Amino acid sequence: MLSTRGSNLLGVGTYNQALILDLIRRSPEGMSRVELAEKTGLSPQTLTNVTRRLVAEGFITEAGKVGSGPGKPRTMLALEPSARYALGVHLDPAVTTIVLLDLAGRIAQHREIHPTGVSSAQQLAAIGEVANTLVSSLPDPGRVLGVGIAAPGPLDTSAGLLLNPPLLPEWSGTRLRDELGRLTRLPALLEKDVIAAMVGELWVAPNGELGDALFFYYGAGAGVGLSLANTPLRGATSNAGDIAHLIVDPDGPPCECGARGCLGVSLEPATLLSDAGLDSAPDPDGRDPRTALDALCLRALEGEPLPAAALTRAAERLARALVQLDNLLDLTDAVLGGPVWARLSPFLRPAVATALAHTGGVTAVRPLVLHESLLGTDVAAVGAACLVLDGAFTARPSHLLITD
């Protein structure tokens, strides 16, 4: 069991090596030692030592020379994406996503499991089986560093278990981290889904920067991942980001907490579908509303009054939540994503932008910039795998809770 900040799974050692790898990763065309020296301030001798070791261990390669005119041509150093991999698993009520990420953060393999009518123990066994299949598809399975798991909160991250996730009650008390570690024989870590999603977005953001931002995750439930000064905000127990009971409409639907118009219940797919006069139970479990949501969005875009009104109302409610979060935290950016968002965004994205401009009570002194997630519906699974790579690979400090 390893519980550390800024640990280095690669075992390549130093902060300097992580720093150099991170810079090279972010430069698809590669970087020369001269550029690396300029960016890091490291001495030429130190740089030579660090890069020699990274080349020897296969993490980077010499990718030809560039330069014309006077002076020596520069040798470009490029990342070797297949040097290491990480598995990412996203446990979600509607669909479990499993990805195999290479060292460049690209998806090498992708699978989905739809949990229809099977127990959590059977689902867990299926996840382990798929994960092992992905690992054994590699020419060298030993290159997989570990498995990151993103799951709905609340979680006990120190024990690696799910507490009582409202939409996955049968998983309550499951020691997911240790179980998946045992099934895959890999180091494993567990992170709340919205935090993993934010980590994934930070990984792919230009220059790794999102500044002070929120990731609004819209799936079967709604939550936010937060990044302050480019660092994911976890909170005291790594459960930050639950906004389900933020009241966004005093006349909204009743919530199990006793209030009306909480964000969670107001944005639930079933609420939207029933507001729009559409069937909300398209599959036997009523958990996978994707087809129905596609139909809702299409009808709204075609101008059908009830579906359009249902989505406009949802946009206004979401805008109120974004304004409250922005007022509280003084943010710059809001990234919008998750499986339900991805389906509704053709209508919802412009509607949220319009609603934001008309929402009262704004105290922020600059407008919140809206972005679409760069990782689509895989964002939490990719983020979970990035957490594994993060500890290995970036100079950015991060919490890791690893067991093996």
Which residues form the interface with Zn ion (CB under 5 A)? 245, 255, 257, 259, 262
Rounded to an integer, what distance in angstroms lies between the CA atom of residue 113 and that of residue 170? 17
- Smallest separation (angstroms) from Zn ion to the CB of 243: 10
Which of 100/247 has CB closer to Zn ion?
247
Which of 146/269 has CB closer to Zn ion?
269
Which of 28/258 has CB closer to Zn ion?
258
- Smallest separation (angstroms) from Zn ion to the CB of 269: 17
- Smallest separation (angstroms) from Zn ion to the CB of 263: 8
Are residues 391 and 9 in contact, defined by beta-carbon separation less than 8 angstroms?
yes
Residues 6+ apart with CB under 8 A from 64: 75, 76
Which of 266/345 has CB closer to Zn ion?
266
Which of 111/245 has CB closer to Zn ion?
245
Helix (H, G, I), strand (E, B) or coil at 147: strand
Which of 187/221 has CB closer to Zn ion?
221
- Smallest separation (angstroms) from Zn ion to the CB of 216: 18
- Smallest separation (angstroms) from Zn ion to the CB of 198: 23
Rounded to an integer, what distance in angstroms lies between the CA atom of residue 309 and that of residue 58? 56
Which of 245/349 has CB closer to Zn ion?
245
- Smallest separation (angstroms) from Zn ion to the CB of 246: 8
Output b/e per residue, 139-175; b: 16+ Cβ within 10 A. eeeebbbbbbbbbbbbbbbeebbbbebeebeebeebb
Rounded to an integer, what distance in angstroms lies between the CA atom of residue 278 and that of residue 172? 31
State the pairing for strand pair 213-218/333-337. Answer: parallel
Which of 26/245 has CB closer to Zn ion?
245
Query: If you ran DSSP here, which 8-state letter would residue 316 be given?
Result: H
Instruction: Output the six-digit token pair for 172.
Output: 């309550």
- Smallest separation (angstroms) from Zn ion to the CB of 247: 7
Which of 6/154 has CB closer to Zn ion?
154
Rounded to an integer, what distance in angstroms lies between the CA atom of residue 73 and that of residue 71? 6
Element (H, E) at 233: strand 231-233
Radius of gyration of the chain (CA): 22
Nearest to 248 by CA among 232, 270, 227, 271: 271
Q: Exposed/middle/buried for 20, CB within 10 Å: 0-12, 13-18, 19+? A: buried
Which of 257/328 has CB closer to Zn ion?
257
CA distances from 323 to 229, 366, 367 (A): 19, 12, 10
Long-range contacts of 71-75, Cβ-Cβ distance < 8 Å, separation of 24 or more = 74/32, 74/33, 74/34, 74/35, 75/32, 75/33
- Smallest separation (angstroms) from Zn ion to the CB of 322: 18
Tokens 């290491």 — which residue?
A: 84
Are residues 194 and 184 in contact, defined by beta-carbon separation less than 8 angstroms?
no
- Smallest separation (angstroms) from Zn ion to the CB of 81: 44
- Smallest separation (angstroms) from Zn ion to the CB of 221: 12
